[in-house]
């Protein structure tokens, strides 16, 4: 089996160079500079300085034996103002792709990993239907420049986060708390995906962050809680893409917020255009029960009265429970319930409090264990007949972890953010050894 092994990053989290070579602000530049939004007031202005250090980072990828690199393209580098194209932005990604290919590493670009140009947010953002068309135009620009060398394209990364965290909960950029607008954002993100598919060639897909949801007890109330969370986290996104419809029960759950009048005739046909691959980002399971005493506005619009239950498992420093069985169950479920499509784990990893030891190493045994267990779950899924074709560890580098700033380290490579020194952790060395063997 020709299984693809790689690692993943995203533009705002690692590139830095926030104003270099014509780049203009994204919603994450604005959000991170707004007091109280990001831990310690940190921003991605410098991050890992990958924009200037990418040749060395790619050399490190090669030394680790990575066969593919999943990165994202910064939309504000390519279209810094409405109707303009920035040659220097396209040049950066062209040079990045060339350098990857020189090292025999397959480039795997994602066109949108949350860094919407601020001028588009000023015009309404993702709740504005026009943004979907602007995304398709931008996708065509990048494709036209790179398609002679790039054959694997991901349109969106985790539209759940872009819509519900960004426009309902306000926990991510742009920081709005408008649930009805968040539902419109869901649709326009997916519409943008479908419109972009029409402008791309090669192997094209989308990445969804999905989880395995189970009820805490056998009660009907807890079963309904699990149904609602599964609907909002998983089915609201995968059903339109692979089945061409929104799940009826979720539409009913959200009826008090939206009549879905923003869905126009033909939209779902566009959203469900055939794709070649589905990326799955998996980190943690969801054990849920009815009854949320805290209430308040959450990304779980339509399920505010659901609470998360402690499953008694070990947790990462993100307070996420570790459960590789959830990944296996999720993969089996997708294979069983949806039309056949190649699956890739496009993100999977864990945050821990990593430090450089006196011997100069970073001994992250917890991450080695996490990766080992989840990769074995992938292997079991393949033995079960799941159409899983590749795995990307999240992340190559410690980076700017969104609203958590630099306090959460997901990298298999440690980054000293003062000196920008890279130190492969034990997990990187383990992963380099593991990927030499068959899945």
Across 171-199, average pLDDT = 98
Q: Domain for residue 232, yes or no? A: yes
- Return the active site residues: 158, 347
Instruction: Show the beta-strand stretches assigned E in 32-120.
Output: 68-72, 106-112
Q: What is the distance, to the nearest Å, from the Cα of residue 33 to the centroid of all Cα atoms in its chain?
A: 22
Q: Using an 8 Å Cβ cutoff, are 409 and 354 in contact?
A: yes
Q: Report the predicted TM-score, pTM, of the whole model to 2 decimal places.
A: 0.98
Which tokens sit at 297?
């506005």
Residue 331 φ then ψ, to 5°: -65, -40
pLDDT tens sequence across 82-101: 999 999 999 999 999 999 99
* Band (52; pLDDT cuts 50, 70, 90): very high
Q: What distances in angstroms separate CA 20 from CA 120, 142, 151, one per listed residue?
A: 20, 19, 28
8 dihedral zone (left: phi>0; alpha: psi -120 to 50; beta): beta
Across the range 255-272, mean pLDDT stands at 98
For residues 284-306, average pLDDT: 83
Residue 292's pLDDT is 78
How high is the pLDDT of residue 302?
Answer: 86
More confident residue, 8 or 299: 8
Per-residue pLDDT averaged across 110-121, rounded? 98
Per-residue confidence (pLDDT) for residue 58, from 0 to 100 = 98
Kindly tell me if the per-residue pLDDT of 374 is higher than 60.
yes
Is the separation of the CB atoms in 359 and 423 below 8 Å?
Answer: no
Q: How many domains does the chain have?
A: 1
Residue 297 has pLDDT above 80, yes or no: no
Distance CA 233, CA 227 (A): 10
Average pLDDT of the residues in 352-376: 98
| Residue 439 maps to a domain | no
- pLDDT tops 60 at residue 257: yes
Q: What is the mean pLDDT of the chain?
A: 97
Tens digits of residue pLDDT in 128-158: 999 999 999 999 999 999 999 999 999 999 9
pLDDT tier at 127 (50, 70, 90 boundaries)?
very high
CATH of residue 332's domain is 3.20.20.80
Asked if pLDDT for residue 263 goes beyond 90, the answer is yes
Residue 385 has pLDDT above 90, yes or no: yes
Tell me the residue range of the domain where 127 lies.
4-434
Q: How confident is the model at residue 296 (pLDDT cuts 50, 70, 90)?
A: low
**What is the reported pLDDT for 294?**
62
Question: If you average pLDDT over residues 109-137, what whole number do you get?
Answer: 98
pLDDT digits (tens, 9 = 90+) for 280-291: 999 999 999 998
Please compute the mean of the pLDDT values over residues 319-326 and round it to a whole number.
Answer: 98
Rg of the chain over all Cα atoms, to the nearest angstrom: 20
Q: Mean of the pLDDT values across residues 102-110?
A: 98
Cα Dmax for the chain? 63
* Mean pLDDT confidence for 317-329: 98
Phi/psi of residue 229, nearest 5 degrees:
-65, -40
Q: Is the pLDDT reported for residue 295 higher than 80?
A: no
| Percent above pLDDT 70 for the chain | 99
Would the pLDDT of 214 be above 80?
yes
Residue 161 is assigned to a structural domain of this protein: yes
Provide the percentage of residues in the chain whose pLDDT is more than 90. 97
């Amino acid at each position: 089996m020709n299984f693809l092994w790689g690692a993943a990053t995203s533009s705002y989290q690692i590139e830095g160079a926030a104003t270099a070579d014509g780049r203009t602000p994204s919603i994450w530049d604005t959000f991170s500079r707004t007091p109280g939004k990001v831990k310690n007031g940190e921003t991605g202005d410098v991050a890992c300085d990958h924009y200037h250090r990418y040749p060395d980072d790619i050399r490190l990828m090669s030394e680790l034996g990575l066969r593919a690199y999943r990165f994202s393209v910064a939309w504000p580098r390519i279209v810094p103002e409405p109707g303009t194209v920035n040659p220097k932005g396209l040049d950066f990604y062209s040079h990045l792709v060339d350098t990857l290919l020189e090292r025999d590493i397959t480039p795997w670009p994602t066109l949108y990993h949350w860094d919407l140009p601020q001028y588009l947010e000023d015009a309404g953002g993702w709740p504005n239907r026009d943004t979907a068309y602007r995304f398709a135009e931008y996708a065509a620009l990048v494709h036209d420049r790179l398609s002679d060398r790039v054959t694997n394209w991901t349109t969106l990364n985790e539209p759940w986060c872009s819509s519900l965290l960004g426009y309902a909960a306000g926990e991510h950029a742009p920081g709005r708390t408008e649930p009805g607008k968040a539902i419109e954002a869901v649709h326009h993100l997916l519409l943008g995906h479908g419109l972009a598919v029409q402008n791309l060639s090669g192997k094209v897909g989308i990445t969804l962050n999905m989880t395995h949801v189970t009820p805490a007890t056998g009660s009907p109330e807890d079963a309904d809680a699990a149904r609602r969370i599964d609907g909002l986290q998983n089915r609201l996104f995968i059903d339109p893409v692979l089945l061409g419809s929104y799940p009826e029960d979720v539409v009913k759950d959200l009826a008090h917020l939206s009549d879905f009048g923003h869905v126009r005739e033909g939209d779902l046909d566009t959203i469900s255009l055939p794709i070649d691959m589905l990326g799955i980002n998996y980190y943690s399971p969801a054990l849920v029960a009815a009854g949320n005493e805290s209430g308040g506005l959450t990304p779980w619009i339509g399920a505010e009265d659901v609470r998360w239950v402690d499953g008694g498992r070990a947790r990462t420093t993100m307070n996420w429970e570790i459960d590789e069985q959830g990944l296996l169950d999720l993969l089996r479920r997708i294979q069983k319930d949806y039309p056949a499509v190649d699956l890739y784990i496009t993100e999977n990893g864990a945050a821990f409090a990593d430090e450089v030891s006196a011997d100069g190493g970073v001994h992250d045994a917890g991450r080695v264990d996490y990766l080992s267990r989840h990769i074995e779950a992938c292997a079991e899924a393949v033995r079960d007949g799941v159409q899983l074709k590749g795995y990307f560890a999240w992340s190559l580098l410690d980076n700017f972890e969104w609203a958590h700033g630099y306090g959460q380290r997901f990298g298999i490579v440690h980054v000293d953010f003062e000196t920008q020194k890279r130190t492969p952790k034990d997990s990187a060395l383990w992963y380099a050894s593991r990927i030499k063997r068959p899945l």
